[in-house]
């Protein structure tokens, strides 16, 4: 997986880094939170399938992650993530796109659609965050382990592997490649604790019915970060939503069920024309 076009854009004084590959209708992949997260590492097993299907794949690094700015002493609010990403995408020449968001990235996709409904053509959301009160997420076992284990003096490659292992079903954990652990660790050691400790997310659950774009929601039944019961918000409120759940799957449907995720998500986008 090579031949990325890469650019960095200044938005409100922060650098936002974007990789891209392919041509055609734009699909923006928005990664989740956690130590070492980045666009490329979260979607490494999905990029080429979407490029081969005729899409322009855009992989931003949210503020605080990847190769983007990682400021200290600020609140990492959903609006900050959304506004800086939207500004960078517009500078990158993206006028409209399908938004693919995992976890925090799902919340960003929702907020961006609510703020700029003309921009989003469709949404693919994998265990999206920001549809419950923030306190309920921090009570989830996966997030509690992630926050408590990040940034201490003992943080090393083994700890990075353990944290990634929490994202997936136990059956999948042994399949996590060393290269992914090393890639995320290289980012994690550059991140201030504020990235997680000062994250501020609203509850968008009551607002999802305002999203009129087609929505495809995918969720692992063994998710320890975002409870799969959240899928009901979309099915109950949205005019055009479909949902798929996966047994023996954790928080990373696009990783743990990569081939199925690629197949069903591409078919969903093709259905939208």
**So what's the pLDDT on residue 158?**
92
- More confident of the two residues 43 and 135: 43
Evaluate if residue 85 carries a pLDDT over 70.
yes
Distance CA 174, CA 77 (A): 34
Evaluate if residue 23 carries a pLDDT over 70.
yes
**So what's the pLDDT on residue 139?**
77
Of the candidates 5, 24, 30, 78, the residue with the CA atom closest to the CA atom of residue 266? 24
**So what's the pLDDT on residue 152?**
60
**So what's the pLDDT on residue 136?**
81
The answer to whether 225 and 201 are in contact (CB under 8 A) is no
Distance CA 131, CA 84 (A): 21
Q: Dihedral sign, CA of 131, 199, 14, 150?
A: negative
- More confident of the two residues 246 and 3: 246
User: If DSSP codes are grouped into helix, strand and coil, which group holds residue 88?
Assistant: helix
Distance CA 254, CA 131 (A): 20
Evaluate if residue 149 carries a pLDDT over 80.
no
Q: How confident is the model at residue 147 (pLDDT cuts 50, 70, 90)?
A: low
How much is the mean pLDDT over the chain? 94
Evaluate if residue 1 carries a pLDDT over 60.
no
In this structure, what token pair is assigned to residue 228? 């799969």
In this structure, what token pair is assigned to residue 35? 């130590």
Taking only Cα atoms into account, the Rg of the chain, rounded to an integer number of angstroms, comes to: 17
Q: H-type helices in 92-228, by residue range?
A: 104-115, 134-138, 141-148, 157-167, 178-188, 194-197
Evaluate if residue 144 carries a pLDDT over 70.
no
Evaluate if residue 3 carries a pLDDT over 90.
no
- More confident of the two residues 230 and 134: 230
**So what's the pLDDT on residue 145?**
67
Q: Which residues does 147 contact at the CB level (< 8 Å), separation at least 6?
A: 138, 196, 197
The answer to whether 223 and 126 are in contact (CB under 8 A) is no
Region 219-246: mean pLDDT is 95
User: If DSSP codes are grouped into helix, strand and coil, which group holds residue 126?
Assistant: strand
User: If DSSP codes are grouped into helix, strand and coil, which group holds residue 73?
Assistant: coil
- More confident of the two residues 265 and 151: 265
**So what's the pLDDT on residue 111?**
98
Ranking 60-74, 115-129, 131-145 by mean pLDDT, the lowest is 131-145
The answer to whether 110 and 205 are in contact (CB under 8 A) is no
The answer to whether 30 and 105 are in contact (CB under 8 A) is yes
**So what's the pLDDT on residue 58?**
98
**So what's the pLDDT on residue 2?**
62
Distance CA 246, CA 253 (A): 8
**So what's the pLDDT on residue 206?**
96
Evaluate if residue 38 carries a pLDDT over 70.
yes
Distance CA 109, CA 158 (A): 32
The answer to whether 17 and 66 are in contact (CB under 8 A) is yes
Evaluate if residue 25 carries a pLDDT over 60.
yes
Evaluate if residue 83 carries a pLDDT over 80.
yes
Q: For the structural domain made of 5-271, what CATH number should be given?
A: 3.40.50.1820
- More confident of the two residues 137 and 253: 253
Distance CA 87, CA 104 (A): 18
């Amino acid at each position: 997986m090579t031949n990325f076009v890469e650019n960095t854009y200044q938005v409100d004084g922060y650098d936002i880094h974007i990789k891209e590959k392919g041509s055609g209708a734009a699909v923006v992949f928005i990664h989740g939170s956690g130590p070492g997260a980045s666009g490329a590492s979260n979607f490494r097993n999905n990029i080429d399938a979407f490029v081969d299907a005729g899409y322009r794949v855009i992989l931003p690094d949210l503020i605080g992650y990847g190769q983007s700015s990682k400021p200290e002493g600020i609140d990492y609010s959903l609006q900050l993530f959304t506004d800086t990403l939207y500004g960078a995408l517009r500078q990158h020449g993206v006028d409209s796109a399908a938004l693919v968001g995992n976890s925090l990235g799902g919340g960003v996709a929702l907020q961006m659609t609510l703020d700029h409904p003309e921009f989003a053509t469709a949404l693919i959301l994998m265990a999206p965050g920001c549809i419950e009160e923030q306190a309920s997420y921090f009570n989830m076992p996966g997030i509690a382990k992630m926050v408590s284990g990040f940034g201490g003096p003992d943080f090393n490659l083994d700890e990075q592997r353990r944290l990634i292992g929490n994202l997936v079903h136990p059956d999948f954990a042994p399949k996590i490649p060393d290269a992914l652990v090393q890639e995320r660790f290289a980012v994690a050691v550059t991140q201030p604790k504020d990235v997680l400790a000062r994250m501020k997310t609203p509850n968008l659950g009551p607002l999802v019915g305002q999203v009129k774009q087609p929505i495809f929601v995918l969720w692992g039944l063994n998710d320890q970060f975002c409870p799969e019961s959240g899928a009901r918000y979309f099915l109950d409120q949205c005019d055009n939503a479909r949902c798929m759940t996966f047994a023996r799957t954790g928080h990373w449907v696009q990783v743990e069920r990569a081939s199925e995720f690629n197949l069903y998500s591409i078919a969903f986008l093709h259905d939208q024309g």
